[in-house]
Amino acid sequence: MPKPVSTTAASGTPPATGVRPHLIYLAIGFPPAAKSCAYRMRETANQFCRLGWDVTVVTICEEAWEREFGLDHTLSEGVDPRIRVVELPLVREDLETNIRAFSEARTLDPKGWLAGLRKREKKLFPEPAFGGWRPTLEEALLSVHQEHRADLLLTTCAPYVNLAATWRLWQEHRVPYAVDFRDGWSVDVIGGGEAFTRDSEAGRWESRVLEQALAVWCVNDPIAQFYRDRYPALADRVQVVRNGFDEDSIPARVRTPDLDAGLTLGYLGSVNFPPAFLEAVLTGWRIARQENSLLARSRFEVRGHIGAGAAREANRHMELLRAAEADGVSFGGPVPKAALAQTYGSWDALVLMLVGGRYVTSGKVYEFVATGLPVVSAHDVNHDASTVLAGHPLWIPAVGLAPRRLADSFGEAARLVAKITEAERAEARAHAQRFTRGAQLAPAVAHLADLVGRGGTRPTSPSDHRALTGDSRP
Amino acid sequence: MTHVLMIAVAPPAEQTILVDALKRFRGKGATVHLACFFETGTLEIEPGLAELHTFAVDTAADPRFRRTLARSQPARRPWLHARRSHWIREHARRADLMVAVDAKAINTVWELAQRNTRADAISGLAPALRALTARVEAAGATANGGLGRQVRSSTSIGVRGVRRFVVDTGRSTLLNASGTKVMKLPAGAWLWSKAVAAPRIPDNLRSKLALRVHTSMVRAGQASIAIRTSAAAASRIRDAQTRARLLADEALAELDLGRVPTELRSAVTAQLSNADAWATKNPKRAVDALASAFGLLTHRVLHLDQVRSPLLIEPDAFLAPVRTSTAARRLSAPRGRSTIAAPPPTDRPQRLLLVVPDVDESVEELRRHCAELSNVELRLLGVDAAPDSRAMARDSKSIMEEILTRTSPFGVRVEDWIRPHLDWADTVLVDRCLSTAALVTLHDPGATRIIVRLNGPELFELWPHLVDFSRVDTLVLPSVHLREPAQAVLPWLAEAEAPRIEVLGDPLHLRPYDRPKSDDARFTLGLVGFNAVTRDPRWAIEVLRILRKQDQRYRLMLVGTGLSAKTSAAAKRYNDQLRKDYAELEPAGALLRQGPTDDLPQTLTGIGVILDSSVYQGFPRSLVLGAASGAVPVARDWPAFAGRSEGAAALLPAEWVAATPQQAAERVLAVTATEERWREAGREAAGHTYATWDWPVVRPEYDRLLGRTGH
């Protein structure tokens, strides 16, 4: 089994000795990964730490994130120094860019090689790209538990292969666990409906692991309801734990629009939607500039990650953005966590580009609403982000993705910015206050800690589990 | 100084990204050499950013290299070219960093990395930039690799050579075993027909194998077994998309062999069924299936490289799958317009926008004539008018997607380009029913009147199926005989919202052709324009043969660019026969190939009888020009329209038309029997021509056309 590449406790203090309760937090995407989920993970770990727990975070090595969306070390600065981080030497082979690491067969038949890799991964766990991590994750959790007996395992997905390691620790050591499922697994958040059936291999894994969970967290009501409907026995354990925003990401003040110089609209987040989606928004923006003199002298800045591996910042999205430079569009790359407030503070309005529909809320919507800036929605009309935005006084609601209608939204945003008042901004910020990340997570973390403290209502013997699931092993 | 060698096999789709990356490499002090497996002329890169080099070897003069390439895996072929390039070897030796710009270049960089063990070898521009940064920051550190890596690489190169020989031999053996020679043997064909239908073969593998076997069987002349084998394999394939792709690939393979596919209808139907299934859920997939289906239906082998187009013989049967497909019908379904076309203005000249696919000589003539029309202000709009308009005009898939979805950014780009012109014009005249007609009718034209001229050959193409005829006010045909086939191919033309159909000949300026004939013209037959099989020059040669049996003074002059044998195997077969004819007739002085001419009126002075041997014609322009020159016209009764109520005789005087080469020869013999008779017949024909098609005669018809209002 590959050994953890590093074990760190930022303050240099040794791991706790068992006097305090111990949480193993399986959180792939923990800082310094430059991923949106890192904020939620950081806050979760910090809250357990503040409640007096020893926290060991299990994640993957920095090299893995360098291959994907990169690193943001400013994110790590906000991690409680008492938290121990175990990094596993797991990387996505398909994102390898060092050609010396390629076999000749891979260079000659990349598709065939990838198909073979996916097949091997799925043999271990039914999840492409990550299934092959199962043995390392399982051994890592057992090893961490052996070193420092855990009172609770909190597993956050994706990747869903984490469920296999969670199950193994439960099977062998009866460590109670909860699953922060965020966007869920069997729910197709983009297309809507079911991603796989209950009797599929993935379905069997999900139902088996969830049924033993102390709690199952989801990021919004539609996903939570999906799981309550799918697993009625779990209904009272499924909780909505929204993402929220970090207050240090929000500018204290935003700038006063300079109508003579033109506005700056911004988008901040991963550019993970289809190229046609981006093209529709950019086309809408171009039409709006032709029709609105204020927008004609305005700019649209896109910040965030584009592409991964060899295709990083070298894909169709980049081409579209470059082609739109004549329309005042620019791409400025990712923004470190520490520079978020400054970036939001340099914009006059925000463009919220989101894929998916009623099952997707996204993390960035909370930050967007908290800035006090007008928000132009560019997503499906029936999108859960709208539930967060509803009541926001500076919101231009979603109109779908027809460029003509998006152009009208941009025009509306320009008019809104031109006559915006400080009272309206204050009202917008007030609207967002209930969505601070800490406020969203605190009740759930406290509840989970209480459950473990009381011993919970979970089954206590393997036979109990078999009775519930009808199977002891996936 | 860091030396960077980049390898690009495919032209970059995102050229700006490459240029941007090269600037960053330069900013870090790197010297970049970019080796391309394509013509570097397509790249717009400043000389200071990178030294460019093309490494594709011309294989024409090296059959051994061609065989090596044919035996090798496709992904390895760029490397086989690259290793012959001194330029690449030199720069690879010096490189500190080698970069695969695209996925197809990875194997080449991998091979180079086995030889230069010191350099980093990276896939992708952004990761390469990171590697360069790391290398610059670690400057002075020990070079990567060392003796161990060098020894391992050298050994590996030798071992891989042996292994590749074994693998390639195995692949060759499989290819030979399923090749044409084997399929000619009953046992071989039987064995493979069973093998591709065996159970438990994955769909993808079965599909590839079935295509190979099918093509070999067709090549071997075992068409009926090929059909059965294909059907058996297809019935085993569960995935509808894979099945449709197999049928389409098989049909394309047959077309590549110059044959009309045996299962063309099944292939088209399967693709259109897929398109129907995807039309609302995934329009892009639906468009791919539609493009494949129409690609088969409009393939040139069916219509241009053989003398009998199934579209003209049985249009209803040929297009039946299109008629029953909801997705295909949606492409040309009438979407209507918000208002009828406004009448021409009375207080100012009428603004006429002439929209043309390409500005060529015939368009220039049309433009000149339109400029002469009464009270007209003319503008010309070609597909090169805007920076990306030519790309838009070629992008049939995006046009289809816009028609299906009505919300694509492509539709907005087209409207951005076309709308200002529509707003300016009172009337738009679209010359030829091609992509421009589809683009002009993609959006509601408002009160602007739309006129489309359909010349005839467009009926074999995809474009008329993408035109919204409910937005066209008038459809102009050059001859009445096209009305019936046009309505058969485009049933919307018979609907209530159909445009008015007008018959107007080509606007021709004939006076320059009125020149005295040379003395030896009487026995010289001429055929002007024979660059397609459908011009059927061999029919004219047959006429010549019959004549020469009577009188050796007859000869045939072929004017224009000859047939291209490269368009398809069917065209090549025809051309092979034609070349035999040349070899037989040219030495005797019976046949003269004139080549293209800049001065057709002068060339026609040497031609006494002008022939039209075409299988079909929209308007026989060359025949009419020849007749205007005083040559006696003899036109084949276009067989594509034979059996219809209207054919060549609907346009031309009956005595000009001959059903067979024998009849044509008889007419030639009759009209050239004496000098006087010949000159008299020529004068009569010229008289009819000037009275019917000369621009001063036709012009009032065009004036009347532009004077009319909409529906």
The answer for residues whose C-beta is within 8 angstroms of residue A258's C-beta and 6 or more apart is none
Q: Which of B470, B474, B480 is nearest to B503 (CA)?
A: B480
With b for 16 or more beta-carbon neighbours within 10 A and e for fewer, the A434-448 pattern comes to ebbbeebbbebbeeb
| Reported confidence tier of residue B160, pLDDT bands at 50, 70, 90 | low
Residues of B in contact with A276 (CB under 8 A): 284, 408-409
Most B-contacting residue of A66, A97, A190 (CB-CB within 10 A), to test interface: A97
DSSP category for residue A438 = H
Quote the ipTM score: 0.74
Measured in angstroms, the CA of A388 and the nearest CA of chain B are apart by 27
DSSP state string for A232-259 = GGGGGGEEE----B-GGGS-SS-PPP-T
Q: Under a CB-based contact definition with an 8 Å cutoff, are residues B272 and B322 in contact?
A: yes
Q: Do B122 and A99 touch (CB under 8 A)?
A: yes
Residue B650 clears pLDDT 90, i.e. is over it: no
Supply the pLDDT for residue B617.
Answer: 87
Name the pLDDT band for B561 (thresholds 50, 70, 90): confident
More confident residue, B161 or B511: B511
DSSP, collapsed to helix, strand or coil, labels residue B341 as coil
Selection from A81, A84, A18, A12 nearest residue A55 by Cα: A84
| CB-CB neighbours of A250 under 10 Å | 21
CA-to-CA dists, residue A132 to A99, A121, A128, A160, A202, angstroms = 21, 4, 8, 11, 15
Q: What angle do CA A429, A431, A437 make, to 5 degrees?
A: 80
Cα separation of A218 and B637, whole Å?
76
Residue whose C-alpha is closest to residue B711's, from B477, B476, B471, B488: B471
Distance CA B467, CA B233 (A): 37
CA B438 to chain A, closest CA, distance in angstroms equals 21
* Contact (CB, 8 A) for A176 and A152: yes
Return left, alpha or beta for B536; rule: phi > 0 is left, psi -120 to 50 is alpha, else beta.
left
Nearest CA in chain A to B157: A104
Q: Any idea how long chain B is?
A: 711
Closest of B247, B369, B256, B269 to residue B318, by C-alpha: B269
The set of residues, in sequence order, having a beta carbon less than 8 Å from that of B118 and lying 6+ positions away, is B96, B143, B144, B145
Cβ–Cβ contact A402 with B under 8 A: yes
Structure tokens at B571: 């065209």
Q: In the prediction, which pLDDT does A457 show?
A: 36
Q: For chain B, give the mean pLDDT.
A: 87
DSSP line for B618-681: SS-HHHHHHHHTTPEEEEE--GGGTTSS-SHHHHS-GGGEESSHHHHHHHHHHHTSSHHHHHHH
Name every chain B residue with its beta carbon within 8 A of the beta carbon of A309.
123-124, 127
- Work out the percent of chain B whose per-residue pLDDT is above 70: 92
The tens digit of pLDDT for each residue in B182-213 reads: 777 777 777 777 778 877 777 888 888 888 88
Q: Which residues of B touch A311 (CB under 8 A)?
A: 124
3 state DSSP class of B114: helix
Cα(B501)–Cα(B478) distance, rounded to whole angstroms? 10
Report yes or no: A204 and A185 within 8 Å, Cβ to Cβ.
Answer: no
Q: Which residues, other chains included, contact B622 with Cβ-Cβ below 8 Å and sequence gap of 6+?
A: B527, B528, B529, B610, B612
Which of A99, A188, A399 best probes binding to B when mutated, by most B CB atoms within 10 angstroms?
A: A99
**Residues near B104 by Cβ (< 8 Å), separated by ≥ 6?**
B9, B10, B37, B75, B78
Q: Is A328 left (phi over 0), alpha (psi -120 to 50) or beta?
A: left
Contacts of B123 in chain A (CB under 8 A): 96-99, 309-310
pLDDT of B162 reads: 53
pLDDT-derived band of residue A132, with 50, 70 and 90 as boundaries? very high
Strand ranges (DSSP E) for A45-146? 54-60, 84-88
The percentage of residues in chain B with a pLDDT greater than 90, rounded to a whole number, is: 46
Please name the member of A107, A287, A319 whose beta carbon is closest to the beta carbon of B17.
Answer: A319
Cα(B540)–Cα(A349) distance, rounded to whole angstroms? 73
**Chain A CA closest to residue B204:** A112
* Higher local confidence (pLDDT), B290 or A270: B290
Residue A99 distance to chain B (closest CA, Å): 5
**Which of A343, A393, A381, A391 has the alpha carbon at shortest distance from A364?**
A343
- A404 contacts B408? CB cut-off 8 A: no
Phi, psi of B696 (to 5 degrees): -60, -30
What's the mean pLDDT in B270-289?
92
In this prediction, residues A17-30 reach a mean pLDDT of: 87
Contact B124 A276 (CB under 8 A): no
Model confidence at B171, pLDDT cuts 50, 70, 90, reads low
- A166, A155 Cβ separation under 8 angstroms: yes
- Top-confidence residue, B212 or A396: A396
Instruction: Supply the pLDDT for residue B140.
Output: 46
- CA B551-B552-B555 angle, to 5 degrees, is 110
C-alpha to C-alpha distance for B209 and A301, rounded to whole angstroms: 51
Chain A residues 342-401 with a CB less than 8 Å from chain B: 400-401
- DSSP strand E in A384-430: where? 395-396
- Do B43 and B17 form a contact (C-beta atoms < 8 A)? no
Say yes or no for a CB contact (<8 Å) between A319 and B124. Answer: no
Share of chain A above pLDDT 70, in %: 91
Sorted by sequence, the CB contacts under 8 Å of residue A468 that are 6+ apart come out as A211, A212, A233, A459
pLDDT for res A455: 31
Is B408 in Cβ contact with A97 (below 8 Å)?
A: no
* H/E run at residue B510: none
Separation CA A209–CA B514 (nearest Å): 93
A138/B contact by beta carbon, under 8 A:
no
Which residues of chain B neighbour A283 with C-beta distances below 8 Å?
409, 412-413
Q: Which of B102, B106, B167 best tests the A interface by mutation, with the highest count of A CBs <10 A?
A: B106
pLDDT of A462 higher than 50? no
* Nearest CB partner across the interface for A318, out of B17, B284, B409: B17
pLDDT tops 80 at residue B151: no
pLDDT of residue A14: 37
Is the pLDDT confidence value at B163 over 60? Answer: no
A159 or B181, which is more confident? A159
Give the residues across from A182 on adjacent strands: A218
Burial of residue A65 (CB within 10 Å: 0-12, 13-18, 19+) is buried
Cβ distance B16 to A401 less than 8 Å, yes or no, reads no
A7 pLDDT tier (thresholds 50, 70, 90): low
Q: What is the pLDDT of residue B308?
A: 80
A192: pLDDT strictly greater than 70: yes
From edge to edge, which strands make up the β-sheet containing B51-54? B51-54, B30-36, B2-8, B97-100, B120-123
Amino acid B508: pLDDT: 87
Q: Within 13 Å, how many C-alpha atoms sit on residue B536's CB side?
A: 24
How many other CB atoms are there within 10 angstroms of residue A236's CB atom?
10
**Helix/strand/coil (H, E, C) string of A176-190?**
CEEEEEECCCCECCC
C-beta of residue A405 within 8 angstroms of C-beta of residue A377: no
Do residues A92 and A68 lie in contact, with contact meaning Cβ atoms separated by under 8 Å? Answer: yes
Q: Which of residues 62-101 of A touch B (CB under 8 A)?
A: 66, 96-100
The arithmetic mean of pLDDT across residues A12-29, rounded, is 73
Cβ atoms of residues B267 and B299 within 8 Å: no
On whether the CB atoms of residues B258 and B533 are closer than 8 A, the answer is no
What one-character DSSP code corresponds to residue B484? H
Higher pLDDT, A74 or A300: A300
Q: Each residue of B522-553: pLDDT tens digit?
A: 999 999 999 889 999 999 999 999 999 999 99
Pairs across A and B, CB distance < 8 A: 101
Mutate which of A107, A305, A330 to disrupt the B interface (most B C-beta within 10 Å)? Answer: A107
SS3 A353: strand
Asked if residues A170 and A179 have their Cβ atoms less than 8 Å apart, the reply is no
Contact criterion met (CB < 8 Å) for A319 and B20? no
β-bridge partners, B98: B5, B121
Q: DSSP per residue over B22-45, as a string?
A: HHHHHHTTEEEEEEESS-GGG---
Q: CA of B294, closest CA in chain A: separation in Å?
A: 24
The structure tokens listed for B709 are 């209002």
* pLDDT tens profile B33-68: 999 998 887 788 888 889 999 998 888 888 888 888
Q: What is the mean pLDDT of residues A259-278?
A: 91
CA distance A128 to A160: 10
Interface touch A311/B413, C-beta < 8 Å: no
For residue A241, is pLDDT > 90? yes
- B365 residue type, one letter: E
Peptide bond preceding A159 in cis form (omega within 30 of 0): yes
pLDDT at position B136 is: 77
**CB contacts, 8 Å: A310 with chain B:** 100, 103, 123-124, 126-127
| Residue B709 pLDDT grade (very low, low, confident, very high; cuts 50, 70, 90) | very low
Q: Does A109 lie at the interface with B, CB-CB under 8 angstroms?
A: yes
Stretch among B38-47, B247-256, B469-478, B648-657 having the lowest mean pLDDT? B38-47
Highest mean pLDDT among A352-361, B174-183, B480-489, B680-689: B680-689
Q: What is the pLDDT at residue B526? A: 97
Question: Vertex B154, ends B148 and B156: CA angle to 5°?
Answer: 100
A411, A415, A423: which is closest to A372 by C-alpha?
A423
Choose between B495 and A410: higher pLDDT: A410
- B214-247 per-position pLDDT tens digit: 888 888 777 778 888 888 888 888 888 889 999 9
Task: Determine the average pLDDT of the residues in B677-697.
Answer: 94
Query: What angle, rounded to 10 degrees, do the helices at B264-278 and B240-256 form?
Result: 140
| Of A423, A433, A353, nearest in space to A394 by CA | A423
Q: Which of the residues A100, A104, A321 would you substitute to probe the B interface, choosing the one with the greatest number of B C-beta atoms within 10 Å?
A: A100
Q: What is the pLDDT of residue B2?
A: 87
- HSE-CB of A271 using CA atoms within 13 angstroms: 32
